[in-house]
Amino acid sequence: MRSEVTAAIAGAVLLVAGLPVFAHHSGAAEFDSTKKIDLTGVVTKVEWTNPHAHFYMDVKDASGNTVNWNLELASPNVLIRNGWKRTSVKPGDTVSVTGIRAKDAPNYGSASLITFPDGHKLNFTSAEEPAK
Amino acid sequence: MSQQGNINALVIASIVSAAALLAVVSLLAQQAPAPGQNDSKGKAASKTEAKTGNVGLYRNQPLAPTGPVVKLADGTVDLSGVWLGGGGSDADIANPRSLKAGDQVIMLPWAEEVVKNRQSKEDPEANCLPAGIPRGSPYPWRIVQTPTHYFILFEGNIHSFRQIFMNAKHPEDPDPTWYGHSVGHWEGNTLVVDTVGFNDKFWFDYKGHPHTEKLHTIERYTRTDLGHMAIEVTIDDPGTYTKPFTTIGRATLMPGQELMEYICQENNQDLPLLTGPARGPGGR
């Protein structure tokens, strides 16, 4: 029972009004939860850094031009404790990403869910399946 | 806030913090656990069934044990270990759910005006500056006890530390600092930490509740069982609030966890992207 309550609280903590929880700033001040992104592309760079990990991805826009997106994750500390590894997303990986867009920067978003071609998924704070 | 853009100060603070933390960790490494003492490696966990659950943001964590607390050779309660939670509401310190029953946070007019005008990007926490006392954090922290000093090591909160001088007195005119000057003593099984000498820079929460250098905090740490600690923090700042109020929180032991590095200044790309008035994580 207690673990169920704890899980419910954790779930509530993880997502506030559609926004991921950030450790050191208001998510609502940076991202617009109504502006969704749905991207597929090739990872070009990973920054395994605090206060947030980032990965960058080349995505072709509607005109066929390649745009490099900057996508934010939780901190490495949160990710590692939740099953991520620093190599869970690597340059050269083709991934699909859903998330939300920054209010005040183009091609910048918060990655809610990352899906790989083999179907395994990672999210903003956690490896839903064991990292490969 | 003038300090927020001062990169030199941040770098110096980082170096000083890192050096001091290294010294504290070296001290910690020299402390052998007393017989029966709970350490973060999970001796305590052996008293519970091997179950896991979510603790804060962290999934599949060993659940905190619930056995009786352990005492050190000097008769005081062993508070050591890696803990999560226990601070005030970092979204809004005035949230009644994190206040002692009946307490209210009533600001003086100047403070109300400050809160109305603060912007999210001015939050010291967003600038990788200290979160102060008692602002909560999703990152764990550790208490280290020595006969003369207790240390609180923060993983988040810019990877800094507090020092508590046991059975000591405050200086007559302490220089204002982010964490102030803390003295501690035991009242039964409760550690009482009295702090004065704060600067006026940190915010109590995302909403920007302020304080002055008159701030005086009294923290009460009571390990209620092996895996849990009740934490009450009385905030008395007659320069900002009409009367004192007390936050209540409960920290949970994280058996098997160690603190990890968290250098917030390394890649804080968020700051220039923060827009609008100071507000909680969900926008309110």
Sorted by sequence, the CB contacts under 8 Å of residue B59 that are 6+ apart come out as A10, A81, A82, A83, A126
Among A60, A111, A119, A122, residue whose Cα is nearest residue A87: A122
Identify the pLDDT of residue A20. Answer: 60
Q: Which residue has the tokens 């617009």?
A: A32
Measured CA distances, B227 to A13, B33, B41, B137 (Å): 21, 17, 13, 18
Contact criterion met (CB < 8 Å) for A6 and B267: no
Query: Does residue A118 lie within any of the structural domains?
Result: yes
* Geometric angle at alpha carbon B132, from B130 and B134, rounded to 5°: 140
Bridge partners, B67 (sequence order): none
A129 lies in a domain?
no
Q: Whole-angstrom Cα distance, residue A93 to residue B118?
A: 42
Q: Is residue A79 part of a domain?
A: yes
Q: What is the pLDDT of residues A73-109, one digit of tens each?
A: 999 999 999 999 999 999 999 999 999 999 989 999 9
d(CA B99, CA B92): 11
AA identity, residue B76: T
Q: Which of B61, B63, B282 is facing A17, going by the closest CB pair?
A: B282
Q: Is the dihedral of CA A70, A74, A75, A77 positive or negative?
A: negative
The verdict on residue A29 lying in a domain is yes
H helical segments located in B31-188: 109-117
Size of chain B, expressed as the number of residues it contains: 284
- Per residue in B151-199, pLDDT (tens digit) is 999 999 899 999 999 999 999 999 999 999 999 999 999 999 999 999 9
* A54 to chain B, closest Cα gap in Å: 9
ipTM: 0.83
**Spatial distance between the Cα atoms of A2 and B18, rounded to a whole number of angstroms:** 38
* A128 occurs within a structural domain: no
User: What does the pLDDT look like over A52-64, one tens digit per residue?
Assistant: 999 999 999 989 9
- Measure CB to CB from residue B273 to each of A6, A9, A108 and give the nearest one: A108
Q: Which of B123, B112, B58 minimizes the C-alpha distance to B279?
A: B123
DSSP state of B119: B
pTM score: 0.83
Taking an 8 Å cut-off on Cβ atoms, the answer to whether A51 and B276 are in contact is no
Confidence at residue B182, expressed as pLDDT on a 0 to 100 scale: 98
pLDDT value at residue B6? 37
How far is residue B138's CA from residue A131's CA, in Å, rounded to a whole number? 23
Q: For all residues of chain A together, what is the average pLDDT?
A: 84
Per-residue exposure over A109-125, b if at least 16 CB sit within 10 Å of its own CB, e if not: bbbbebbbeeeeebbbb
Closest CA to A102 of A54, A50, A48: A54
Instruction: Report d(CA B215, CA B197) in Å as an integer.
Output: 8
The span from the CA of B62 to the CA of B122, in Å, is: 37
Mind giving me the DSSP string for B263-284? Answer: -GGGG--SGGG--SB---TT--
Provide the pLDDT for residue B90.
87
> CA-based angle A14:A116:A49, to the nearest 5?
55
- Structure token digits, residue B276: 């609008």
**Cβ contacts of A28 on chain B, cutoff 8 Å:** 276, 279-283
CB B235 within 8 A of CB B253: no
User: In the structure encoding, which two tokens stand for residue A45, read together?
Assistant: 């760079």
* Predicted local confidence at residue A22, as pLDDT: 61
Chain A contact for B63 (CB, 8 A cutoff): yes
Q: What is the CATH number of the domain that holds A60?
A: 2.40.50.140
CA–CA gap between residue B93 and residue B261 (Å, rounded) = 27
Show me where the domains of chain B are located: 2-273
DSSP B102: T
CA distance linking residue B32 with residue B48, whole number of Å: 23
DSSP state of B165: E
Could you identify the residue written with the tokens 């934490």?
B231
State the Cα–Cα distance between residues B127 and B7, nearest whole angstrom.
10
Domain count of the fold of chain A: 1
- B53, B138, B274: residue with CB nearest A6: B53
**Separation between Cα atoms, residue A15 and residue A6, nearest integer Å:** 15
Confidence of residue A126 (pLDDT cuts 50, 70, 90): confident
Question: What was the pLDDT predicted at B181?
Answer: 98
Contact assignment for A54 to B267 by CB distance below 8 Å: yes
**pLDDT at A10 > cutoff 70:** no
Low-confidence stretches of chain B (pLDDT beneath 70): 1-50, 281-284
CB contact under 8 A, A21 and B281: yes
B263 touches chain A (CB under 8 A): yes
Residues contacting A93, CB < 8 A, separation 6+: A42, A43, A116
**Best residue of A50, A71, A84 to probe chain B, by most B CBs closer than 10 Å:** A50
Mutate to test the interface with A, among B4, B10, B17, B58 (most CBs of A within 10 A): B58
CB neighbour list of residue B187: distance below 8 Å, 6 or more residues apart: B220
Report the alpha-carbon distance of residue A23 to residue A54 in Å, rounded: 15
Q: Give the distance from residue A43's alpha carbon to the nearest chain B alpha carbon, in angstroms.
A: 19
Helices (H) and strands (E) in chain A, counts: 3, 8
